[in-house]
Amino acid sequence: MTTPISTAPSTTTDTLYATANHIVEGFRFDDKVVAVFPDMIQRSVPGYSTIIAMISQLTARYAQHGTHCYDLGCSLGAASLAMQQGVGGKNCTIVGVDNSADMIKRCQQIVDASNAEKCGEKAIIQLIEGAIEEIEFKPASVIVLNFTLQFLAIEKRPALLQKIARALVPGGVLILSEKLSFNDPRHHELMIDLHHNFKRSQGYSDLEIAQKRQAIENVLIPETFQTHQSRLAHAGFSGVELWFQCFNFSSMIAFK
């Protein structure tokens, strides 16, 4: 039986946008966000726990002996730890990369604590502070972009995906989770409204929702599934399937 995957534990509730601000600064993955990130991500992204659990299962299916597995934009390491569980004894190295020094520092603490609790053989998790588009990949069988590509400038996305495709060995996969936009304005607004209702059900106020939306505007740039599909094909992937979607949050798998 698969052991449940959980994100990094935290007792700190996300109240970053609970007080009205005259100026709402652009969203950054700084120490304030790090402190509340597990609560923020669970209450903001519908199906997040399901995606993390499935990353473990997909890693178990597609990880190849002796290769690397990458978690690009690893934040606090939820996907890295899921991959560690999934690879089993395949002698894989897991590499988590994030450009936030605050995230990497806390992630290292979480990984160390998790490893101390586990017995037996486990894959090594290496953490790197740096820009994901500048990483020199080693041969990889599983690469994860879990709600990361959406924060990268659109003009940089094709080159990164082409680099990822070249790094993947035959039979390797990219797991790409993204917030989506939609061509039909009615559908687009419906998905936004449903997501906001989800956040209200998680205890966020209208003020928090509005200020968070303002903070991520022009920082998180979503695209349509069709755009992702076309770009991945151009990058060298043989196929891409949407395996999860809840409102405007999705996860897809692209095959080398």
pLDDT tens digit sequence for 27-50: 999 999 999 999 999 999 999 999
Helical axes 48-62 vs 31-44, angle rounded to 10°: 90
Q: pLDDT at residue 9 above 60? A: no
Q: Span 136-144, mean pLDDT?
A: 98
- Residues contacting residue 41 through CB under 8 Å, at least 6 positions apart: 7, 48, 75
Q: What is the rounded CA–CA span in Å between residue 138 and residue 169? A: 10
What count of residues does the chain have?
A: 256
The encoded tokens of residue 7 equal: 């994100």
pLDDT in tens, 86-134: 999 999 999 999 999 999 999 999 999 998 887 667 899 999 999 999 9
pLDDT in tens, 226-245: 999 999 999 999 999 999 99
Q: What is the rounded CA–CA span in Å between residue 211 and residue 24? A: 7
Would you list the DSSP string of the chain? -PPPP----------TTSS--SS-PPP--SHHHHHHHHHHHHHHSTTHHHHHHHHHHHHHHH--TT-EEEEET-TTSHHHHHHHHHHTTS--EEEEEES-HHHHHHHHHHHHHHHHH--S---EEEEEES-GGG--PPSEEEEEEES-GGGS-GGGHHHHHHHHHHHEEEEEEEEEEEEB--SSHHHHHHHHHHHHHHHHHTT--HHHHHHHHHHHTTTS--B-HHHHHHHHHHHT-SEEEEEEEETTEEEEEEE-
This prediction's pTM:
0.94
Burial of 57 (0-12, 13-18, 19+ CB in 10 A): middle
How much is the pLDDT for 99?
97
Confidence of residue 52 (pLDDT cuts 50, 70, 90): very high
